[in-house]
Structures are given as structure tokens and as C-alpha cells.
Structure 1
Amino acid sequence: MPVSDAPQTAQSQSVTLPTGVEAVLTWAGATHRGRKRDINQDALLTAYPLFVVADGMGGHIGGEIASASTVDRLQRMVGKGPVTPEAIEKALVKAVRDIGDHPETTDEGTGTTVTGVYLDITDDDATWVALNIGDSRVYLQRDDALAQVTTDHSLVQELVAAGRLSPEEAENHPYGNVITRAVGPSEGAVPDYVRLDVRDGDRFVICSDGLTKELTDYGILHFLRLHADPAAAVDAMLEAALENGGRDNITIVVLDVAVPGQQAPEPSEARRATAETATAADTAEAVDTADAIDTAEAGESAAEGRRGSSPVGDPRQ
């Protein structure tokens, strides 16, 4: 649920995976209006198994209504049954209707991003599913490297993908705030999805662009390395983002995954060679999701903060 300008105390939950192994999830989150905005149009949800950030936009309070409506519908969905892509999309359709019912949300451009992860234990192998509409982000810290899991739905990302902008040029592009997809009265409500394996020691960062405007990817990794406690990591990143200008609303969730006794898989020689010579973008069409995440981690570590992405896969396939 939306929270005020302070981090939550870290919360934990034990989960029995389909293999019978116990996993422990620990998380914390915070949202802040920043130093330049009059109101906070961000919202967040931390309700196992779903962890989401929404960044609203449009009108004076239209964005606040859009993000709150989206989080409210997703929270209701969590209470009714299993979290699936179909359930998420039905909740988002209802959120679109709720947003349109408010007279304050009639401005063109009213809507919200929605980005996050949920734990899927319905199959034989438990997996994380990342979802995304807009330019809020999910990051994964694995093996002391950071990879951007989601792909921004933004004009600058399209220009980067087309080879018309470098990642460095995109950092300060004048159209950096222009997104190409959102949850709103005139928008669709189908996210992109990425499925990831469950691995001991993984840490997810889910954030609005208020964080990534002020901290590079390497800066985010720096604070994750410094703070083992999710609440302390959230607090440190929030403080740094505010000190760096706090030009937008800032929302952060850090989610830690512990699977005691799990043996981490060793990458094959072929995967090591791929990681040394390619980035996730280079191999998106040629490798599976697990390989792509390993490759993206190597690219992120080498670039020290360069923004990357992972291939999109639909978990319903």
C-alpha cells in the first residue's frame, strides 16, 4: 500500500517452494515526494506474493489517483486468489475504469506506470515473474552484479534500441520523461513479463524513475553492497537521491531472497564465454532468460552503471 515519507521496517515471510525447500523473503519500501514536487503521485504495494511500484502522471492530482487506483486494484486481486498474468490484467482493466470515473483524471496523458515482481509457486519449479508498463524499473542483484530486468517503455529507450542514441546520450535526453505505454483511460493494460529462476541471495530493487534520475545503476549497486538490511538499503538510496536533487517523486522497494542450503548453479563454459563477449541486448534472441540475466550482469558490472535490459518473455507461454 502507499506509505508516507519514511521507510518501512523490514518485513519477512517464509514460503514453501514446490520442491519442499523453505525460502525466506524480506522486504522494505518507501515513497517520498522529493524536493521539487508539491505532491507525491507515486504509490507502492508490498503484499506477498506481489511487490509493485506505480508512478502516476497527469493533472495536479490525476497521477495520484491513477497510481492509487492501480495499487488498490492489485491489492484486492492479491486477496482473492493466485497472482497470474490474467488476474493482473483483469485488475488493471478495472483500474483503468476507476481512473476514468474520476473527473480529475480527464486530462490527456493521465495514467501511471506499474512495475514489479511476484513469486509464482504454481508449477513444479518456483519462479519470479517481473511485470512492467512504463519506465519504472525492476533490477536484480545477483552474484554481486546488477542487471535491469525490465525494459523501459519510453521514447529514449526506443531511440537507443534503434541505434539512434547511445545509452550515455539517453541519460540526459530532453525527452527522457516521455513514456510510450501507461495504465490510463486511453491506454491498454497488458504488461510485459519476464520469468526468472528463484536463487538464494538474490535482491530485487523496484523503483520509480525518481530514483534512477538521481542514481546510476552502479550507485544503486553501491548501496546494496553497503546495506544487507533491506530497510537500511532503501533509506540510504532515498537519502542519496534527495541529496542529488530529488527532482521527482521517489519510490523504492528492496526485496531479498534467501533459500538456505540451495546450491547455486555453476555457469557452463559456453555461458562464461558468452558473458565475456556480449551484453543481454546482443543475446536477447539467442539465449534463454537465465542465460540472459547472467549476460546482463556481466555487462552491467563492466559498464559500472550503464543502463541495460533483459529480454521479455511471456510467462503464459
Structure 2
Amino acid sequence: MSRVELFARTEIGCVRERNEDSFVVANITTGERGLRPGTTIQQLDESVGLIGVCDGMGGAAAGDIASKIASETLYDQLMMATALHEVSSVQEALLSAVVGANRAIADYAHTHPGKRGMGTTMTGALTYGHEVHIVHVGDSRAYLRRGRTLHQLTTDHSIVGQMVATGQLTPEEARSYEHRNVLLQALGVQAVIQPEIVVAPVCAGDVLLMCSDGLTGPLDDDGILEIMLRFDDPVRCCRALTEAACANGGPDNVTVAVARFLGEGLPIADERDPVQPRRSSHTLQ
């Protein structure tokens, strides 16, 4: 029987005074949440699993509160969703969660004037059958490792991300670009948002990685892939990735979530075939 093994880890890093990242790991079918046996190992044909990473921003304006609101709203909204029997209902539930989180953060900031300016990224994924369905706002990322190749599934909603997407910068040039941390989208700071939905089929042995930019700042994709190839187990992989980011200076909070897909019933990957996710953008308010 096919299954997914999940884990997540967050570290404050070496520079920040507090951790403004948050993550969520849950079994939406049973409602169980947290790093427990019922969530860290799930049968794909029986459960819909959730993993999410949120990177708060705002410093004194409470980025930690914004990311916590986002991760909790993501879980709560999906738990309230109608039965997730079709792809369309899965995507509708993910988009509703983004709208709910955006409003909840904005409402909190409105009633706490000292917190105005708080916001967060959100990258959340549902394991649904033999696919992952991702909703994404900001510059946290989702990757899929297939064999010895790492594929970035999401697009950075940042100035530098757009410049890479349009060919104005290479990924290597983007790492040292002056305005690389300027976001074009975040939850809680804009009435209108344009989340990205990404759907990717998974094969036996595939590994989904979701992370805040506290990982992708200190480590390039090759460095991330090298660690993922050394550590198959999600627990050890999460630990190794966060520790590597801290060893490289740890300039930001770092959060990673890993999902490994295993077992009979999943298609066998041919590494020569590229990962071909389906992407769509949605304008919501």
C-alpha cells in the first residue's frame, strides 16, 4: 500500500532574536495535528495529508503572530471544507484557506494598531491520492526531488523571483541581488492576492520539500539536493537541512517540511521524464 512519511522542523537561526516562522503537519481525514504517528505516516489511499510552511514578516509588527495565524487558519479552513472527493474541491479548499488567512491577519492588525504591517508567506500542500496540491503566496518554496534531480515547483513572488522568471537574472545572480528579499505578495498586507496553485503527480521515491527562505538563502539548490540525497528519512533530512543552514551563518529563521512517497501502487519514476506540474494563478480578495 502506498504511503507518505512526513516531518517538519524549525530553528531560530544564528542572528534573529525570535522565530517568526511556523509550520503545520496534519491528517485532514482524522483531524490529528502535530508530529505524531497518525500524521507522520499516512496511507495515501485513506488519508489527505497537510503540510505547510509560513514565514512571518514585520519584526516588531509581529511576523510571528502572522505566520501562526496563517498556519492555524490553513488547518482550520481545510478541516471545515466539504468532503475532498474531487480535484476541484481540493483546490477550492486551498484557495479558501488563503483568503481566510489573509483576512484573519488583516483583521488582527486592524484591531491591534501596533501590529500594522504584519504579514506572512504561505506555502501549503495537500497529499491527495497520487498527487500533491500546493497553494503558494510569497517566497517560501516547494521542491520535488525525483531521483538525483531537484525541481522547484513554486515561483517566488518577489522582485528577484520575477526577474529570474523573465530571464533578466540567472538563479545564481539572484542569490546576491540587492533587492532579493522584497516581496510582491504576502498575506495580511494586501486586500487582493494572487495565489499560485501547483499540482504535481508523485512517483515512488519522490520527496517533497517545503521551506522558508531561511534555507534557500544560505544554501543553493545543489547544496540542498546533496543533503537530501544523503538522508532519505524525513526526520534526519529535516534536521540535516536546518543544521546546514545554521552552519552557513543562519541569517534567518529556517523551517523545512519533508514528505517522502513510498509503497506499491505509486508509479515508478523514469528520471529521464521531467516533472511537469500544472500551474494556475488566481486573483482573490
TM-score computed with the length of structure 2 as normaliser:
0.81
Gaps of 5+ in 1: 1-21, 273-290, 295-309
Pick 1 or 2: higher relative contact order, CA cutoff 8 A, min separation 6: 2
Give the % identical residues. 36
Give the one of 211, 216, 241 matched to 1:212.
216
Structure 2 letter corresponding to 1:312: R
Distance 1:261 1:186 in 2: 43
Q: Would you say 1:224 and 2:191 are equivalent positions?
A: no
Using the TM superposition, give the Cα deviation of residue 311 of structure 1 relative to its aligned residue in structure 2, in angstroms: 6.4
Write out the 4+ residue segments of structure 1 that deviate beyond 6 Å after TM superposition: none
Gaps of 5+ in 2: 28-48
Distance 1:95 1:250 in 2: 21
Distance 1:263 1:107 in 2: 48
Question: Over residues 201-253 of structure 1, what are the superposed CA-to-partner deviations in whole Å (9 max), with x where a residue is unaligned?
Answer: 10011000000001111111111111121110111111111010000010001
TM-score computed with the length of structure 1 as normaliser:
0.73
- 1:302 paired residue number: none
5 Å matches for 1:134-153?
Answer: 134-153=138-157
* 2:208–2:258 Cα contact (<8 Å) kept: yes
Using the TM superposition, give the Cα deviation of residue 117 of structure 1 relative to its aligned residue in structure 2, in angstroms: 1.8
Using the TM superposition, give the Cα deviation of residue 40 of structure 1 relative to its aligned residue in structure 2, in angstroms: 0.8
- 2:53 paired residue number: 53
* 2:13–2:251 Cα contact (<8 Å) kept: yes
> Over the residues paired in the alignment, what is the CA RMSD in angstroms?
2.2
5 Å matches for 1:1-317?
Answer: 22-48=1-27, 49-81=49-81, 82=84, 84-102=90-108, 103=112, 106-108=115-117, 110-121=118-129, 126-260=130-264, 262-264=266-268, 266=270, 293=275, 312-313=279-280
Distance 2:19 2:113 in 1: 16
* 1:292–1:311 Cα contact (<8 Å) kept: no
Q: Which has the larger radius of gyration?
A: 1
Distance 1:311 1:78 in 2: 21
Question: Over residues 161-215 of structure 1, what are the superposed CA-to-partner deviations in whole Å (9 max), with x where a residue is unaligned?
Answer: 3333222211111111111111114243442111111311100110000000011
Distance 1:60 1:73 in 2: 22
* 2:153–2:198 Cα contact (<8 Å) kept: yes
Please give the secondary structure, in 1, of the residue aligned with 2:222: helix
Question: Over residues 254-284 of structure 1, what are the superposed CA-to-partner deviations in whole Å (9 max), with x where a residue is unaligned?
Answer: 11001325452557xxxx5xxxxxxxxxxxx
Aligned residues: 252
